[in-house]
Amino acid sequence: MTDALASNPYETEMLRGRRASENVIAEALDYLSTLLLVENDHAALTAAAARFNRYDIGRSFARAAAGLELGTMTLRQVLAAEPVIPMSVRRLVEYDNETSVAEILAGAAGRIQTRRPLERRLNGFAVPGVTMLVAAAALLWIDATFIVPEYVKTFEKLNSDVPSAAGTVLDIAAAAQPAAAAAALFLLGAALILNVGNLFAAFRNVTQRALFLVPALGQAVKLDGAASFLTVLGQLLRSGASPEVAIAAAGDAAGYDSYRADAYRLAAKVQSGEVAPVCLDELRLLPEEVRALLHGRELDQRSAVVADRAASKMRAASDEQLETFARTVEPFGMFATYSAAILIVVAAILPLFAVAPAVAGYAG
């Protein structure tokens, strides 16, 4: 698709639409791949455009269909020219002529859909506990701010001092007030960043790096990203793509900003003349054993075999780490989170039991 066509007002209008999320992109690619199996190319693009016309990727399908209708470009050419379609998919469509377009699109959709359950697993693990901790910390702050001072005023009206045991509890509650407020704000902020931060690149990068630190689950995510990187790297090298093109597209396929930024930087180094295998050694998000396998190798079709085998191993290792998370980290983490929340609630109501008998004694 030429720049002149892309700048045509009609074509620009076609691309206006809600930005598609990763989930929508995966659904759109999978939908188009299915249609390509049973319809001709133009009919498949037109139907997919109608199905996703609210999103920019649906408008992109419409523009591709318009380009295909001109009769001067093939399906691969129009898809490879669409900037809304993920770069890794465009490069595979452009270079991998041995694999059908339908298979390429289905494979890309599958890689995206594999990542989503991992992130949903983290949300399912973190959000309930964070919500409970925020509520408990808020309760402690309310107790120290509004309830405890009333007991102090009661003793002042009785012209008496607060009993030593009750005073200790009140002092602890008062001292915990700023800590509880800070904890509530921190936990609420963390929850917002995890759920809303993905809308902004800077926050998204931070949350993704934080995700890598979660025991077992973080390692599963990193290995899954490495598997996607190696899968696309192998496909493109086997298809004769240049090393810089293969590295950049593989980084895009990994799905995480850290992989993507590092891969783009490495691709630029390769393009400027630096040897590709040395650059891959700098991609620290790839497991050391993978970097060792590719160390000293030119990125060519023989390296594609190594990348394919390593991708299978990384995928299996990711599944193993996810199973470890499900069996150990997840239950113990939930237990610790809810135990901490219960302790905070107990601390919040403890002054009531400590001070009420003393008040009753003075009143009697």
User: For residue 342, is pLDDT > 50?
Assistant: yes
pTM: 0.67
Q: How many domains does the chain have?
A: 2
Question: Does one domain contain both 42 and 143?
Answer: no
Quote the radius of gyration of the chain (alpha carbons, Å): 28
Question: Does one domain contain both 151 and 266?
Answer: yes
Question: Does one domain contain both 289 and 228?
Answer: yes
Give the residue from 85, 106, 123 where a domain finishes: 85
User: For residue 335, is pLDDT > 90?
Assistant: no
Q: Does residue 54 belong to any structural domain of this protein?
A: yes
User: For residue 191, is pLDDT > 90?
Assistant: no
Q: Does residue 96 belong to any structural domain of this protein?
A: no
Question: Does one domain contain both 208 and 154?
Answer: yes
Q: Does residue 99 belong to any structural domain of this protein?
A: no
Q: Where is mean pLDDT largest: 70-74, 130-134, 353-357?
A: 70-74
Question: Does one domain contain both 284 and 165?
Answer: yes
Between residues 361 and 197, the one the model is more confident about: 361
Question: Does one domain contain both 128 and 34?
Answer: no
Q: Does residue 103 belong to any structural domain of this protein?
A: no
Question: Does one domain contain both 59 and 119?
Answer: no
Question: Does one domain contain both 178 and 218?
Answer: yes
Q: Does residue 95 belong to any structural domain of this protein?
A: no
Question: Confidence band (pLDDT; 50, 70, 90) for 275?
Answer: low
> What is the residue-averaged pLDDT of the chain?
76
Domain that includes residue 54, residue range = 3-85
Question: Does one domain contain both 132 and 274?
Answer: yes
Question: Does one domain contain both 64 and 124?
Answer: no
Question: Does one domain contain both 54 and 123?
Answer: no
pLDDT of amino acid 8: 41
Question: Does one domain contain both 294 and 232?
Answer: yes
When pLDDT is averaged across residues 261-272 and rounded to a whole number, the result is 85
pLDDT of amino acid 307: 87
pLDDT of amino acid 102: 94
